[in-house]
A and B are shown apart, each in its own frame.
Chain A
């Protein structure tokens, strides 16, 4: 049901910025999907028991699915002397690597405690890289809550990898953003069918497959939260292909079109490749749009995907957005999505959670997209919620997932209707 582009989109509307309590994850959470994507990487958080507990609470059952992440928990004595902390870190890393010889990339992940005591993990990474080269490359980034929110952890991780990528002059397309393997394969197949190549991915599934980068590299982001990675690639001379993000049929088509244009793909080829999956995606979305049409939606900030999702839900599913909250609004990257999102909703950046809860209670939207700390309490108040983390942990990009994406939003509404059937009779 893609509506025509609105006369006035949300790119330039004033943004509601509030500061207060934020109910969000820290960037450490990104480890949970990144470690699955990078199959020879280990993520070592240097932090506190809180950090370990967060990872465990967020990773749930994964703890036993051969996790390649852990927390070096700082102890009293590490706080007393930083020199000792470095020695301790070296020892823990050596122990870890000797037990896991399959590890090729080690990420030292900074946390709030390690940042506050100013443990220099960048230097530690250099030192350890030298010690364990060439078998293992050691990187460092911060996933601390004081610096990063949820998906920004992935951004920080990928941005940390960029400076170390080899130089290349090849004209290659780089897809940036960790996608579920099945989705990545679909994207690669579509691009290949249009004759676009070679295509590389960042992150790659294995260190050996890591790409080069240079002035002839063009890159497309598959996730909206990759601001720092974008900047790091631009610094290396690469060119960004601006586009809406590939959510829904429309988003995927526009994203592919932008990439196709950069590679001089003809309209005929583009049509031939995309016509069938576009039709499939539209049909799949339509099945859910019936439930969603005419319903209102309110987004709490979580992943920075909110503007893209609001664009999808309003344009392809017939919903009305009341508020679109995001932890950060990177207008540069999200401009194409914001242009398509009709003026109307409040666009909010940052959060004062109590004030935002006041707003959601007075608006009583049909669907509220929020975190797990808020979802059940809001359900108990009679609001219908969709917990947001699932949108990050589920394959939702590109054509074949468009129906699933809509389904994630329609399911809570259908469920509410099912459970209230008796009452309605």
Chain B
């Protein structure tokens, strides 16, 4: 047993739902208790879908258990087929049905539907959502993608985009455009937007573009082996990665990788003097491995940040993640426990966090600017406007998104110069944000509402505070042994809030290393000189 409050990933069958919901003409019959239908609202609310997910649940109840849940399942398959007339069906069990040991695959086969029925075996007690999506898509390809002749013109498939994917909708559009400019047509994009009949003609493509390894790698590998289709390894997030990606495609096709960059603005934005203050800003990265690895490269090589920590929650990608981290001189943090992430962030005191919805909450609590780079995300990260992460427009989007939460350059100087200015007091935060950043130890807690916020409300009401495992906030180890003299403490307060955490920590570490038990103003400035970069 593992006590869990917040999970980065849902259960495996939610991954299968993401595949089914991304596709058309496919229906998922899920053996599951009543109550598991909650997952529908991820799609109808967070992704704002205008139709129910194509999922039929058997919704068995306790009184069904002694009796014939197997027949319940068969009836559900029959009725789903009759009502929705899908081209193909996937069937499987959720965590509870896995325990009652009906065999969805066998049962569905026994009723002899006139369409392909694909059985999913998704171990709910070992694996998670991303595995569920990857495996489901792979099984669908294995069952449906037949050998077919290549298209006359050069074409590729786009693999891995799903329902509920972070910016999948616009990434697909962006990459389709880029490939089109090179002269590569998209044969099939799957799972997103594909029908089972489209999967059947995937073999016609000359190669595959693997957009998201988390949800498409198993299928890409299988296509390589079975249909002789090579797949791209570069994820085109960031300017350099996009160029590398185009070069990789050029290598596979013999086409020219040179395409129109006139609307690419990120490099100039980043080079302009307004961005100088971004140099060496300390950034912490967390999310799924693909987005984190791409973000690290952008952060260091395209914006000039200092990457001080990186990690991912999906163990499937732990190895590439570790390798990538090493190239930044870092040890990757591989965990799905947000408390560990919070500890790592608190210890590093970065100036910017790039992460998931959860890191947004952590950032808010610690008063650190943050931008979202990876699922899981909430409704505000399924925007109405065009917002890819991939390709050249993606690079523009990323620059704006990451820079926005930071205090702006001139403002940063003013804060340093006039730090006792009443409008620039600690709690005010960046002036372009309506001011809500918190000072370091946010003990002052917004009173939680007596009853909860509605489900999937928009931007959360500010609510922070302790958490179940007695938050580690405010009880940093070093300060237990080292005492701040009041003058030094007053001086510390004059340091702008967004660097004060680092200054405090550095000074305490400096003092501890020197065997000092008290920190005076001199200690503070000696430490500053010591750590000056």
- Please give the residue numbers on chain A whose beta carbons come within 8 Å of chain B beta carbons, in ascending order: 20-29, 32-33, 36-37, 44, 46, 48-50, 52-54, 56-76, 78-79, 85, 88-89, 91-92, 95-96, 99-100, 112-113, 115-117, 144-147, 149, 180-182, 354, 371-377, 379-380, 389-390, 393-395
**Separation in Å of the B350 CB from the closest CB of chain A?**
19
Q: Are A377 and B44 in contact (CB under 8 A)?
A: yes
Q: For residue B361, which residues in chain A have a CB less than 8 angstroms away from its CB?
A: 63-64
Q: For residue B36, which residues in chain A have a CB less than 8 angstroms away from its CB?
A: 26, 50, 54, 145
Query: Which residue of A is nearest B63, CB measured?
Result: A146
Q: Are A390 and B58 in contact (CB under 8 A)?
A: no
Q: Are B45 and A49 in contact (CB under 8 A)?
A: no
Is B276 in contact with chain A by the CB < 8 A criterion?
no
Q: For residue A116, which residues in chain B have a CB less than 8 angstroms away from its CB?
A: 65, 96, 99-100
**Separation in Å of the B75 CB from the closest CB of chain A?**
9
Q: Are B51 and A380 in contact (CB under 8 A)?
A: yes
**Separation in Å of the B130 CB from the closest CB of chain A?**
12
Cross-interface CB contact of B52 among A25, A100, A373, cutoff 8 Å: A373
Q: Are A36 and B450 in contact (CB under 8 A)?
A: yes
A48-B6 CB under 8 A given contacts A60-B455, A64-B361, A99-B468: no
Q: Are B125 and A74 in contact (CB under 8 A)?
A: yes
| Interchain residue pairs with CB less than 8 A apart (22) | A26-B35, A49-B10, A50-B11, A52-B4, A53-B11, A53-B39, A57-B41, A60-B454, A60-B457, A63-B6, A64-B463, A66-B466, A66-B467, A66-B468, A67-B468, A68-B468, A99-B470, A100-B470, A145-B61, A145-B96, A180-B451, A376-B45
Query: Which residue of B is nearest A374, CB measured?
Result: B52
For chain B, residues 350 to 371, give those with C-beta under 8 angstroms from any C-beta of chain A: 361, 365
Query: Which residue of B is nearest A84, CB measured?
Result: B1
Number of A-B residue pairs, CB cutoff 8 Å, is: 248
Is B487 in contact with chain A by the CB < 8 A criterion?
no
Query: Which residue of B is nearest A372, CB measured?
Result: B41
Q: For residue B151, which residues in chain A have a CB less than 8 angstroms away from its CB?
A: none
Q: Are A389 and B455 in contact (CB under 8 A)?
A: yes
Q: Are A48 and B96 in contact (CB under 8 A)?
A: yes
**Separation in Å of the A349 CB from the closest CB of chain B?**
13
A interface, by DSSP: helix, strand, loop or mixed?
A: helix
Give complex CA distance A395, B59 in Å: 30
Q: For residue B449, which residues in chain A have a CB less than 8 angstroms away from its CB?
A: 36
A36-B7 CB under 8 A given contacts A24-B37, A65-B463, A65-B464: no
Q: Are B460 and A60 in contact (CB under 8 A)?
A: yes
A21-B56 CB under 8 A given contacts A49-B128, A54-B38: yes
Q: For residue A75, which residues in chain B have a CB less than 8 angstroms away from its CB?
A: 1-2, 125-126
Give complex CA distance A378, B288 in Å: 33
Cross-interface CB contact of B79 among A22, A37, A85, A354, cutoff 8 Å: A354
Q: For residue B95, which residues in chain A have a CB less than 8 angstroms away from its CB?
A: 48-50, 112-113
Query: Which residue of A is nearest B471, CB measured?
Result: A66
Is B502 in contact with chain A by the CB < 8 A criterion?
no
Give complex CA distance A25, B454 in Å: 14
Is B57 in contact with chain A by the CB < 8 A criterion?
yes
A390-B4 CB under 8 A given contacts A21-B58, A50-B94: no
Q: For residue A24, which residues in chain B have a CB less than 8 angstroms away from its CB?
A: 34-35, 37
Give complex CA distance A29, B450 in Å: 16
Cross-interface CB contact of B3 among A21, A72, A76, A180, cutoff 8 Å: A72
Q: For residue A59, which residues in chain B have a CB less than 8 angstroms away from its CB?
A: 452
Give complex CA distance A60, B456 in Å: 6
Q: For residue B463, which residues in chain A have a CB less than 8 angstroms away from its CB?
A: 61-62, 64-65
Q: For residue A70, which residues in chain B have a CB less than 8 angstroms away from its CB?
A: 3-5, 468
Which of A37, A61, A375 counts the most chain B CB atoms within 10 A? Answer: A61
**Separation in Å of the B100 CB from the closest CB of chain A?**
6
